[in-house]
């Protein structure tokens, strides 16, 4: 199962929340995209492992991705050790992505920063022939690594136009019905992300970054170990932002 782009997420719903529009846009352009969730979100206040799995499956259908897996590394106890690195390396060597998109280097939720550091190390080691896995897949290292923005902002290197895919992103996020836009919390408590206010700020952020880049909606991304290398100016001729 080779994919063009492989997205890593600490929890089910992180990918949809933070780069769901980019994923939908890439799929619409004929790129194959996969998501690897590092945990089952089992420590979340709302929902269960079972409901999160059902929601993730529905979100995957909405986005049209080619592949999704869950490594079950332990919500709230993600460790950057060789055992966990090997699990990520196995996924990378199996999928052979040209691009990997990973979480923010630092964020409000401790799991996010930990997951990102784990991914960065594993993505590098995945290219080393002497790092062995149980599978027969050959060493592989992605050509590009991007960070998506999570709760805390950073200065992006570029903004991806998701104007034509905002509704798809929104539908994918709302597939996680136990987590977002919960009108009636029921027996489970309201959380930081479950209220309608949180979803409104997500849209406001997408509009803000879209505005900065000359689009209606945008998703900010940062390039790992830059600067970005170009061998063609076609990116500028293919892009017509409103300035």
Per-residue model confidence as pLDDT tens digits over 100-131? 999 999 999 999 999 999 999 999 999 999 99
| CATH number of the structural domain spanning residue 155 | 3.40.50.10320
The answer to whether residue 155 is domain-embedded is: yes
Per-residue model confidence as pLDDT tens digits over 170-209? 999 999 999 888 877 777 888 888 888 898 999 999 999 9
Tell me what the pLDDT averaged over the chain comes to. Answer: 95
Give residues with Cβ within 8 angstroms of 154, minimum separation 6.
Answer: 104, 105, 106, 147, 220, 222
Query: Which residue range forms the structural domain that includes residue 188?
Result: 5-227
Q: What is the mean pLDDT of residues 146-150?
A: 98
Q: Give me the number of domains the chain comprises.
A: 1
pTM for the full predicted model:
0.95
pLDDT band, residue 134 (cuts 50/70/90): confident
Distance CA 34, CA 120 (A): 17
Q: Would you state the pLDDT for residue 189?
A: 85
The answer to whether residue 131 is domain-embedded is: yes
Per-residue model confidence as pLDDT tens digits over 73-100? 999 999 999 999 999 999 999 999 999 9
Burial status of residue 51 (CB atoms within 10 A of its CB: 0-12, 13-18, 19 or more): middle
Tell me how far the alpha carbon of residue 37 is from its chain's centroid.
Answer: 9
The answer to whether residue 177 is domain-embedded is: yes
The answer to whether residue 171 is domain-embedded is: yes
Collapse the DSSP code of 203 into the 3-class scheme (helix H, G, I; strand E, B; otherwise coil) and give the result: helix
Q: Would you state the pLDDT for residue 196?
A: 87
% of residues, the chain, pLDDT over 90: 84
> Strand pairing partners for 148?
221
Q: Would you state the pLDDT for residue 191?
A: 85
The answer to whether residue 234 is domain-embedded is: no
The answer to whether residue 191 is domain-embedded is: yes
């Amino acid at each position: 199962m080779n994919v063009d782009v492989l997205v890593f997420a600490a929890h089910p719903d992180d990918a949809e929340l933070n780069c769901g529009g980019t994923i939908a846009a890439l799929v619409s352009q004929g790129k194959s995209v996969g998501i690897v969730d590092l945990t089952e979100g089992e420590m979340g206040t709302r929902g269960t492992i079972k409901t999160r799995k059902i929601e993730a499956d529905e979100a995957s259908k909405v986005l049209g991705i080619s592949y999704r897996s869950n490594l079950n590394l332990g919500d709230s106890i993600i460790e950057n050790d060789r055992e966990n690195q090997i699990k990520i390396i196995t996924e990378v060597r199996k999928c052979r992505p040209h691009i990997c998109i990973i979480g923010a280097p630092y964020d409000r939720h401790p799991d996010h920063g930990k997951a990102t550091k784990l991914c960065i190390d594993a993505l590098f080691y995945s290219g080393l022939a002497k790092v062995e896995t149980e599978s027969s897949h050959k060493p592989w290292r992605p050509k590009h690594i991007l960070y998506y923005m999570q709760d805390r902002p950073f200065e992006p290197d570029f903004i991806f136009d998701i104007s034509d895919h905002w509704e798809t992103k929104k539908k994918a996020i709302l597939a996680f019905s136990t987590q977002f836009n919960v009108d009636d919390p029921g027996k489970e408590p309201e959380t930081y992300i479950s209220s309608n206010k949180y979803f409104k700020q997500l849209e406001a952020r997408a509009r803000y970054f879209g505005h900065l880049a000359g689009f209606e909606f945008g998703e900010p991304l940062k390039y790992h170990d830059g600067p970005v290398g170009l061998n063609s100016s076609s990116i500028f001729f293919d892009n017509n932002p409103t300035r």
